[in-house]
Structure 1
Amino acid sequence: MAVNLTREEARTRAESVAVDSYQVELDLTGGDTTFRSVSTIEFACSRPGSATFLNLAAPRVHAITLNGRPVGLDAFDGERIALDGLAERNVAVIDAECGYSRSGEGLHRFTDPADGNVYMYSDLETFDAHRIYACFDQPDMKASYELTVLAPQDWYVVSNMAPVTEGGVPQADGVHRWQFPPTPVMSTYITHVSAGPWHIVRSEHDGIPLGIFCRQSLARYLDPEEIFEVTRQGFDFFHEAFGIRYPFGKYDQLFVPEFKEGAMENAGAVTFLEDYVFRSRVTDFSREARGETILHEMAHMWFGDLVTMRWWDDLWLNESFATWAGTEAQAKATRWHHSWTTFTTAWKAWACKQDQLPSTHPIAADIPDIHAVEVNFDGITYAKGAAVLKQLVAYVGYDNFLAGVRAYFAAHSYGNATLADLLSALEEVSGRDLGAWSQEWLETAGVNTLRPSYSVDDSGRFTAFSVLQSAAPSHPTLRSHRIAIGLYSLADGALTRVHSVETDVTGDWTPVPELVGMQRPDLVLINDDDLTYAKIRLDPHSLDTAVTSVGSFTSSLPAALVWAASWDMVRDGEMAARDYARLVAGGVDSVRDISVVQTLLRQATLAVRQYADPSWRGEGLAFLASALRSLLEAAPAGSDHQLAYVRAFTSVATSAADLEYLTRLLDGTVALDGLAVDTDLRWALLRRLVSRGVRGEDAIDAELSRDATDAGERQAAGCRAAIPTVAAKRETWEELTDGKLTIAMFRATIASFADPDQPELVQPYRDEYFAAIGAVWAEWSSAMAQDFVEYGYTIGAVDEATIAATDAYLIRPEPPAALRRLLVEGRDEVARALRNQARDKAAAV
């Protein structure tokens, strides 16, 4: 975590240095720990005679020259190369030995246990290009890149550009030399190289060459036609919406092993988490999520790659825009027309959760250095920003918004821009002053709550109607909202909208005279159509309707809004966790959107495990298991609902009878019509059985022999970490803390180690966790350190002792700001859970 770059350092460097080009030569034919990297950098200096520095992380540097003269190797301190005596025009050459990564940062190297094949790929956001080549590693110092790679003859090398010679040029000793032409001007973090004996599928659309890559052992699981279909639909949508053709020539999409995130928008060579190659049957929610990710990364080709933020303060512009654009493209151009419903249910819940943490921040965040941005890929940056952009579209008008975006692209193509540049373009086309809007929505933190307040006469007609707005004391801003208010009535068993009005909400009280005199419906829905970003509440009459009839909506979006309001009420202690579990159990079978179904099941399980009175938790898990088993056995054969129910049931099964049922599903003595107990489901069943002490090491070894892959190895590691013995937990803890696991194996292991149903085995490690995090943060890579701190925090019990241990650590000599943030977030979730447990306990009286 020591490597860093501050905003002021970046600004000072960019003021004096302008990069023209990089020529990078990589030799990937050596050993399995390092590779040779030679960088030739041409750059100008506006202050001849001054000094600057290059970024480089490498075990060794062989030689440094500047304008033909040698530079002493002591100019390299392990993180930077100091260059002084700069001329007006400069050429620096750095010959280094760089290290392969096991954490997904830089150039990650992977050996496939299924066939021994080696694959490698780069992942460089936010600050990891200098792990592969010496560079000015910041987004506003754009340049052209010309890459040359030496690789084994049976490998295929991928970069931002198509190779000059397909297959490379043969050299001596079974080595091929791959030459790639200079790229358009771009930022360091979106440059890319991948290499290995890939399985490749080719296509073309609208003159754009398309490629899909995965490793050979996954080729039989790849479904290229659906991926190509979404890709083609995305290009057609974005070409029309943005008014500029895709700017980077070919478009490759690579599904890569042990990826540390969902996907990465490298120009012309997008990388994806390999989980998107489905080895087993998945619900359509998983396919929808993959489709959204494909479109999200494609949107980045324009917003992020073609026009790039100047510094990471505007990271949200990249991610929020891509989230909005990806969801909009999915809703309008693909078969997932309900994608905004999914956004409301899943993404906005993430935003609201993040926005109520002590670490919440304005959408337009203050990012003083790289360490700050690396913990800022959060629900504010992605989901809240996208929700607010959706509001902005409504505020300026859809056509005006796209016209402003087109003007923004035209003015700043291949350059850098800021939030002010985008707002200026939107103001010009819409005629609206966005200064106040920006200050209110982008420069303040926190989420508002909107609730209806009304009175009715003896005939049930509204005599008064208003919308009340509130805010948390810590973030008291009351914002301006454009909302719709929907009136829904039950008829023939269906909840249908009978009337809707749109109104502007300002301040803490907004009257809505248009509704006075109208008949009160069965349900009043504030923020109908999901036009604003806010938590909403139902009045008691509407809540009663929702509890009995939430499955009766004739449209998916209002149902999703009601479910979201219910979940917010649970998190805020206004609804008991046990009541929410009963609400979900009683209504989930009527929900048609599988994305909503799976989100509700996950939230109900979390409510029972974390927010319910601990003395009721066992009963609550049994209640969920009983309800889910009934839903499973009644579900249509082969349906997505059936698969969702069996997975949710597996995660909560506790009784001897339910565990016996899982055992029989696993060994095949019980079969459900249409349910394939395939590889991933077998592992899920086995892990639950292992965690409850029903199966052990022999069963894990037998399952691994059936699935002798890296995914199987991770699943087996997760199962071993879940073995409910003191010895197994100790062995797992030693593996987690020795720093030798890859990032993928670490995540698989710690997720099972911190089993919420094994508190007596896990909680003794709370003190060891706090004793370890200082060294982990200082010595491990950024991604690995964050994972240890964030996932490891759940080792502590939901009790006052965990809060006390956190407070004791935080008053030590000041922890780094990013580490402090993660710990404060974990503490806040524990405190919220304790409040909600007390609320749930009171509901039982």
Structure 2
Amino acid sequence: MPGENLTREEARERAGLLEVEAYEVELDLRAAVAAEPAPFRSVTTVRFRCAQPGAASFLDLVAPDVTAVTLNGRDLDPGAVFDGSRIELADLAAENEVVVDARCAFSRTGEGMHRFVDPEDGEVYLYTQYEPADARRVFAAFEQPDLKAPFTFTVTAPGHWTVLSGGALAGRPEEHRDGSATWRFEPTKPISTYITAVVAGPYTRVEDRYTRTFDDGRELVVPLGALCRRSLARHFDADDVFTVTKQGLDFFHDHFDYPYPWGKYDQAFVPEYNIGAMENPGLVTFREEFVFRGKVTDAAYERRANVVLHEMAHMWFGDLVTMEWWDDLWLKESFADYMGALALAEATRFTGSWITFANRRKAWAYRADQLPTTHPITADIPDLEAAKLNFDGITYAKGAAVLKQLVAYVGRDAFMEGARRYFKRHAFRNTRLADLLAALAETSGRDMSAWARSWLQTAGVDTLTPQATYDAGDRITELAVLREGPGRTGWPSGCTRSRARPASWCATPAPRSTSPTGTPSSRSWPGSRARR
């Protein structure tokens, strides 16, 4: 049995064999309100094509048990085809439909369908969190980023709850005699399994709207929602969240030239979240510590705004266009980190955000890059277990700093035009790093492969050491910077020895060091560390 892990090779083989047309997921969450809740019912219908009729493949599902499996109208024995993490599908046809009726477990650790009981009023709150591969804890799926499909969710839950998904609500909830109700949602656009979402519970929801009129006269209206649990509503400053949201949508529309593609834009602040936030299209989830219970510093508001904009950048880079496999996890996170900081500085009241980026995010990256666990930005991710270990300061902050350098290298106009071509060319599909670099090479005329080798495929930091030589008159006659780093020693690219005065960009004058007697020393002063 392979267990819960999935290798890159298995994913490639499955993606070459299958094309997923649609998912329909029905969840019955009524059991959540019990003191000791039983597993909830999850019924998934998947329609997909197979390029080689007669071949075999598998669905991913991590669940206590499976009640029934039907493939193309043929009942399969759950005990024979389900091993606890996979459902084997043999003798596939060219066109297939599989229905899986399962009992899935509520989570207390943030993976899958998390259940929280509010200690203040006893109310139950649910939300999902899937990255990188925990959708399979809620419904049966081909759990990998490059098998995108539209998702249609139907949720049955207590009737007084607020229930949301990534798609818009399709009509009013259907009420039942037992006090429950069923919410049906419109199909999503094609998305990856890990960015689907459900939020359910007696959440307080505040509403607003964003409007945008484009140059060709088209008008875009995006319904906005902000949610938190009921006992925190008195602290919730939704107006500030909406202000940053609207500023961000304006900024990204100006720069990406691609209308927000996901219909509505809900942002839910949820309890016991084990990460900062998640970019589920149309239903972004955040840790509820961003609902401030009292007076906080401007830095706290800036951090929240930065996270809001980071997740918003993912609506295009990560959701609209998604990496093929987790090797390029860094790319979506680095892009969102960079664009979030840029939007924060240029579209909101936090105009000094690049200083914050240098002091917080880059400092995080420097620390991570000097540990024994450091790795190149483009890490080798052979399986899901490796992907889980790669959410770190290198993936996010070092990558973002390198993208900032890339913008300087190709020029901001060329970078943004490259991003616009990338979104339009690959919308609702999957890509690799090479696809983005190809777009940037077109718009800038630069050799992106050489840049990628230098900046993305090496690990660790460089040490830059200025070295000065003085004449008898205590004047600098030669100034140079020596670079030492993992696998390299010598003069930095673009740096030259500078005689008589420090003319090179690689070195700047520093106070002369002195010997204990006060005599000027001819030794070099300590260099500063610079990240590759």
User: Normalized against structure 1, the TM-score is what?
Assistant: 0.58
Query: What residue number does 1:93 align with?
Result: 99
What CA deviation, in whole Å up to 9, does each residue of 1:563-609 have, x standing for no partner?
xx98x69xxxxxxxxxxxxxxxxxxxxxxxxxxxxxxxxxxxxxxxx
Residue aligning to 1:143: 149
> Is the 2:204–2:228 Cα contact (8 Å) retained in structure 1?
yes
The reply on whether 1:234 has 2:248 as its aligned counterpart is yes
**Residue in structure 2 matching 1:78, options 57, 77, 84:** 84
Q: What is aligned with 2:8? A: 7
Match of 1:476 in 2: 487
Any residues of structure 2 matched to 1:291-370 within 5 Å, and which?
291-370=305-384
CA distance in 1, matches of 2:166, 2:472: 70
**3-state SS of paired residue (1:151):** strand
Q: Give secondary structure in 1 for the equivalent of 2:231.
A: helix
1:22 alignment partner AA: Y
1:205 aligns to 2:210 (yes or no)? yes
Find out whether 1:112 has 2:97 as its counterpart.
no
Residue 519 of structure 2 is matched in structure 1 by none
| CA apart distance, 1:374 | 0.3
1:143–1:186 contact (8 Å) kept in structure 2:
yes
Deviation at 1:466, TM superposition (A): 2.2
Q: Secondary structure at the match of 1:337?
A: coil
The 5 A counterparts of 1:440-519 are 440-455=454-469, 462-471=476-485, 475-477=486-488, 505-506=492-493, 510-512=496-498, 516=501
User: Are 1:465 and 1:512, in contact at CA under 8 Å, matched by a contact in 2?
Assistant: yes
CA distance in 2, matches of 1:78, 1:350: 38
* Cα distance in structure 1, aligned partners of 2:3 and 2:356: 39
Equivalent residues of 1:66, 1:91 under 8 A apart = yes
**For residue 24 of structure 2, what is the aligned residue in structure 1?**
23
- 2:127, 2:421 → 1: CA distance? 35
In structure 1, give the amino acid aligned to 2:131: E
Distance in 2 between residues matched to 1:398 and 1:302, nearest whole Å = 18
Report deviation, 1:461: 5.7
**Alignment correspondent of 1:803:** none
Name the aligned partner's letter for residue 393 of structure 2.
Answer: G
Residue 218 of structure 1 aligns with an amino acid whose one-letter code is: L
Partners of 2:342 and 2:433 in 1: how far apart? 21
Structure 1 segments unaligned to the other structure (5+ residues):
481-504, 519-523, 529-537, 544-564, 570-845
The SS at the match of 2:496 is strand
Amino acid at match of 2:496: T
Distance 1:459 1:299 in 2: 57
Change (3 A) 1:103 1:527: farther
SS of residue matched to 1:58: coil
**Separation in 2, partners of 1:195, 1:324:** 32
Instruction: Give 1:340 deviation, angstroms.
Output: 1.1
The alpha-carbon deviation at position 511 of structure 1 amounts to 2.4
1:706-763 CA distance string (max 9 Å, x none): xxxxxxxxxxxxxxxxxxxxxxxxxxxxxxxxxxxxxxxxxxxxxxxxxxxxxxxxxx
Secondary structure, in 3 states, of the residue corresponding to 2:30?
A: coil
Distance 1:382 1:257 in 2: 24
Asked if 1 retains the 8 angstrom alpha-carbon contact of 2:64 and 2:103, the reply is yes
Taking only the aligned residue pairs, the percentage that are identical comes to 53
TM-score by length of 2: 0.91
Give me the whole-angstrom Cα distance separating, in 2, the residues matched to 1:455 and 1:133.
69
Equivalents in 2 of 1:456, 1:303: separation in Å?
A: 52
Relative distance call for 1:422 and 1:140 in structure 2 (3 A) is same
Matches within 5 A, 1:405-444: 405-444=419-458
- Greater C-alpha radius of gyration: 1
More strand by share: 2
Tell me the CA shift for residue 458 of structure 1. 7.5
1:123 and 2:137 matched: no
- Aligned-pair CA distance for 1:408: 0.7
2:407 aligned with 1:399: no
Query: What displacement does 1:467 show?
Result: 2.3
* SS, match of residue 125 in structure 2: strand
1:158 aligns with 2:143: no
Structure 2 CA distance for aligned equivalents of residues 373 and 50 of structure 1 = 28
Query: Counterparts of 2:372 and 2:59 in 1: how far apart (Å)?
Result: 36
Give 3-state SS (helix, strand or coil) of 1:435's partner.
helix
- 1:178-197 alignment, distance < 5 Å: 178-197=183-202
Q: Structure 1, residues 85-118: CA drift from partner, whole Å, max 9, x if none?
A: 1000000000000000000000001110101111
Residue 51 of structure 2 corresponds to which residue in structure 1?
A: 46
Tell me the amino acid that sits aligned with residue 6 of structure 1: T
Q: Any idea what the Cα deviations from partners look like across 1:597-629, whole Å, max 9, x if unmatched? A: xxxxxxxxxxxxxxxxxxxxxxxxxxxxxxxxx
Unaligned 5+ residue runs, structure 2?
Answer: 212-220, 515-526
Q: Against the structure 1 CA distance between its residues 2 and 77, is the aligned structure 2 distance closer, same or farther, given a 3 Å change threshold? A: closer
Q: Distance in 2 between matches of 1:92 and 1:125?
A: 24
How far did 1:176 drift? 1.0
The structure 1 residue matched to 2:393, chosen from 379, 386, 393, is: 379
One-letter amino acid of the structure 2 residue matched with residue 510 of structure 1: T
Matched AA of 1:26: L
Instruction: Encode CA deviations 1:487-507: one digit per residue, 9 max, x unaligned.
Output: xxxxxxxxxxxxxxxxxx418
Q: C-alpha separation between the residues in 1 aligned to 2:30 and 2:390?
A: 37
The alignment partner of 1:510 has SS state of coil
Given that 2:480 and 2:506 are in contact with CA atoms closer than 8 Å, whether structure 1 keeps it comes out as no
Aligned partners of 1:419, 1:448: CA distance in 2, in Å? 25
2:461 is paired with a residue of what secondary structure? coil
* Counterpart for residue 37 of structure 1: 42
Residue by residue, what CA displacement relative to the aligned partner does 1:288-307 show, whole Å, maximum 9, x if unpaired? 11111000000000000000
Task: Give the whole-Å Cα distance in 2 for the aligned partners of 1:231 and 1:337.
Answer: 16
**What's the offset of the Cα at 1:281?**
2.2
Q: Which moved more, 1:444-453 or 1:87-96?
A: 444-453
Tell me which amino acid in the other structure corresponds to 2:291.
V
1:386 deviates by: 0.6
Distance in 1 separating the partners of 2:195 and 2:458: 30
Partner of 1:57: 62
Superposed CA RMSD in Å reads: 2.3
Rounded Cα–Cα distance in structure 1 between residues aligned with 2:329 and 2:95: 32
Q: Distance in 1 between matches of 2:179 and 2:490?
A: 65
